Amino acid sequence: MRFSMDLEYTPISPVPNLPFTESSFKRMASQYTLDTNEIGIALVDIWNFGWENGPIVPELGFELSTERGVSHAKRKRQIIQEVIAPAVTELRDLGVQIFHCNHAFFLEKYPQWINSTTTAERENLKKIHETNSGQPPAEKHKTFPPNEWVQNWQSRHSDEINNWAWLKQNDKVYEQIDIAGPMKPQKNDLLVYNHIQFHRLLSERKIRVLFYMGFETDVCVQFSDYGMKYMSDYGYMCNIVRDATTTFETAETLDGLWKTKVHIAYIENKYGYSTTSRALIESIMKGTD
């Protein structure tokens, strides 16, 4: 089905008939004509943090078993339940291909795994799992700054940011992570674990436009092995669905979700465009065969 829709972007250059100042850099629209056969939905790390039956380390309890705080987990759950799940259901019914992008060890148990991967890809993954990846860091030959000083400040900084004592306990959470209940893969969905496999699946189906939903806007959506950075390098148009993503905020950015918004603007600048879930669905529904 062919359809037209406005894909949005935020300029960082002069806009006709407006003063050349930052206040003029407002979101604008560019109209594209697309086909449902050439678009796909990339669902990134739709995990079950924030659910009562989600991953919990008993000695930590619910709050400390979340990734980046209980408010972050609850916000992601709300987005999954209220935006992503209903949107994906409608898009699937409209004939749009759904891709669940996640780590292989979260995906292997689902029946769609066999149709999503080749024998060679599965055998290669098995070899990687059986190989000890704990390689020592490469020897540093530089003399300045002194290696000991570098190691000391970097170790201190990392612990201040990450709280390694807590993080080591929290790592047990990842043994329990699963795709959130409302987002379990359906019959014809495909499962994606890295950019090489993703490129194969897309090229076989002649899909060239991706709409990303999921988390985190500034990390995995962009820089994971199935994220925008890799897929953009292949030439795919990578668009972010603004109401279907978020990231962990700070005390300074939480009130307006400014960290999320800044990275949406960065994605518009770097990889493609943005839209909303309703705009995408309604544009398709107005399309013609």
Q: What are phi and psi of 237, to 5 degrees?
A: -80, 120
Residue 133 has pLDDT above 90, yes or no: no
**Structural domain includes residue 16:** yes
* Nearest by Cα to 83 from 218, 217, 282, 277: 277
- Which tokens hold the place of 70? 């209980």
- Give the per-residue pLDDT at 143: 85
CATH number of the domain bearing residue 227: 3.40.50.850
- Give the per-residue pLDDT at 261: 98
**Structural domain includes residue 151:** no
For residue 132, what pLDDT band results from cuts at 50, 70 and 90?
low
Model confidence over 197-227: pLDDT tens digits?
999 999 999 999 999 999 999 999 999 999 9
Q: How far apart (Å, rounded) are the C-alpha atoms in residues 73 and 115?
A: 31
Domain count, the chain: 1
pTM reported for the whole predicted model: 0.94
For residue 131, what pLDDT band results from cuts at 50, 70 and 90?
low
**Structural domain includes residue 61:** no
Q: Which domain holds residue 267?
A: 2-48+78-127+177-285
**Structural domain includes residue 208:** yes
For residue 188, what pLDDT band results from cuts at 50, 70 and 90?
very high
**Structural domain includes residue 132:** no
Report the share of the chain in percent with pLDDT over 90.
91
- Give the per-residue pLDDT at 142: 73
Phi-psi region of 163 (alpha: psi -120 to 50; beta: other; left: phi over 0): left
Model confidence over 20-36: pLDDT tens digits?
999 999 999 999 999 99
Average pLDDT of the chain? 95
The better pLDDT of the pair 135, 206 is held by 206
User: Which helix (DSSP H) or strand (DSSP E) does residue 39 occupy?
Assistant: strand 39-44
* Nearest by Cα to 77 from 279, 215, 204: 215
Residue 99 has pLDDT above 90, yes or no: yes
Q: If you compute the radius of gyration of the chain from its CA atoms, what whole number of angstroms results?
A: 21
**Structural domain includes residue 250:** yes
